[in-house]
Amino acid sequence: MANPLLFRKIMLALPEGLCSGELLVQDGKIADFGASQGVPDGAEIIEAEGAILAPGLVDIRASLGEPGYEYRETIASAAQAAAAGGITTIAVLPDSRPAIDDPALVRLIASRGEETGTVTLLPYAAATRGCLGVELAEYGLLKTAGAVAFTDGTRAIASARLMRRALSYASGFGAVIVQHPEDPELAEGGAATEGARATLMGLPGIPAAAEAIMVARDLRLAELTGAKIHFAHISTGEACALIRHAKDRGIRVTCDTAPPYFDLNETAIGDFRTYAKFSPPLRADADRLAILEALRDGTIDAIASDHQPRDADDKRVPFAEAAPGGAGLVTLLAVTLAQVQAKTLSMAQALALLTSRPANWLGIEAGILRKGAQADLCLFHPERSWQVEAGKLPGKAQNTPFDGRALEGRVLGTWKAGRRVFG
């Protein structure tokens, strides 16, 4: 068991807001806010004026490459990157090889997370066998094994009939279907958002409406079945408007987005930058601003890393042929904090979107500084800058769209159950 820790001369990110104070960790748990009984023998004292002690970040969407794509990323390398980014819990997509559609694989992913000692891995299970969109997986067995929700990852469930069955089936187990919101027929063969930029670059386009069309269809199916639905990496203003209206009507819908969709726009693909190729693709700036508004007003429930590791062979090809996706674990906190510095989000809003709100969505006891809670902690300084350098990031995946970017918000330390795992 790790030695006791006493954090002092810091700001604490409490549910009621930031406040100066002290926090004592003993036996891997938050023992008290301060050391009213004196400093325990052997305690390590950590002082960092100007720094903020927050709960460990909870990332509800990441692909880790293992099993099957270890050349892109492994669980061990992803755990290293997560710790450097202040992340202590990750919900893992099932888009591995084989896909996570078997209870034994669900248990394997969770146990591999425990083996790292640095991060809790919560597996999604495939919504359909093999994530192929043909036949539903065995939701009951998978949920019993520990699956936190059901999704086909970056593949949309295209069939309306199959989606209705999936929603109904999942609802019977109190589970959630997570949808990649993009009409696959409209998106097929596309590489960038349809419009003047894609035309100028000679790239096949994907209409932004492909997202809203899928969202509108599935909201109606969720209403029809009374089931819960979650939309991943929302990227357009039209989709935000549909979800906002659906929430007002009482439909059981939630959604997340990722830093590229509120920090970048389609101009980032200039010079055919494959590191900025995503699925869904980067959008017009009006959509980026709409995503920010949806973060502000609570329409969007969480910010996820949407970590998609790729290697050189995936990206160093013509833009239209490049695999979409970007590394996002290390940069998740700092890119989000850029919106605090821009006064678009408050610090409390930003941290809630990275900690307590995703934890609540997952139904886990994490994401909050509370007496008796496990001491999963992230200590960061919001004003200390660092530069993103592809090739020098912690972990194996280096395909970051933020390469060369100077960011403020340096993680000084990460603790898992009171044991320091970074810094």
Q: For residue 111, what pLDDT is reported?
A: 98
Confidence of residue 3 (pLDDT cuts 50, 70, 90): confident
| Residue 400 pLDDT > 80 | yes
- pLDDT tens string 146-165: 999 999 999 999 999 999 99
Q: What are the distances in angstroms from CA 405 to CA 60, 183, 282, 343, 402?
A: 24, 33, 17, 19, 5
Strand partners, 203: none
Find the mean pLDDT for residues 117-138.
Answer: 98
Q: Which of 29-43, 242-256, 284-298 has the lowest mean pLDDT?
A: 29-43
Q: Determine which helix (DSSP H) or strand (DSSP E) holds 58, and give its type and residue range.
A: strand 57-62
Sketch the domain layout of the chain as residue ranges.
5-52+374-393+406-422, 56-362
On whether the CB atoms of residues 393 and 402 are closer than 8 A, the answer is: no
Calculate what percentage of the chain has a pLDDT beyond 70.
99
Q: Is 306 a catalytic residue?
A: yes
Pick the catalytic residue: 95, 183, 301, 306?
Answer: 306
**The two structure tokens encoding residue 292:** 């920010």
Write the CB contacts of 250 (distance below 8 Å, at least 6 apart in sequence): none
> Cα separation of 213 and 210, whole Å?
5
Q: For residue 39, what pLDDT is reported?
A: 83
- pLDDT tens string 325-369: 999 999 999 999 999 999 999 999 999 999 999 999 999 999 999
Cis peptide bond N-terminal to 181, omega within 30: no
Confidence of residue 1 (pLDDT cuts 50, 70, 90): low
Confidence of residue 38 (pLDDT cuts 50, 70, 90): confident
- Where are the extended beta strands (E) located within 182-319? 192-193, 205-206, 228-231, 253-257, 302-303
* Common-topology check for domains 5-52+374-393+406-422 and 56-362: no
> Which of 260, 233, 228 has the alpha carbon at shortest distance from 247?
228
* Protein fold of 56-362: TIM Barrel (3.20.20)
Note the CATH number of domain 5-52+374-393+406-422.
2.30.40.10
- pLDDT tens string 249-295: 999 999 999 999 999 999 999 999 999 999 999 999 999 999 999 99
The model carries a pTM of 0.97
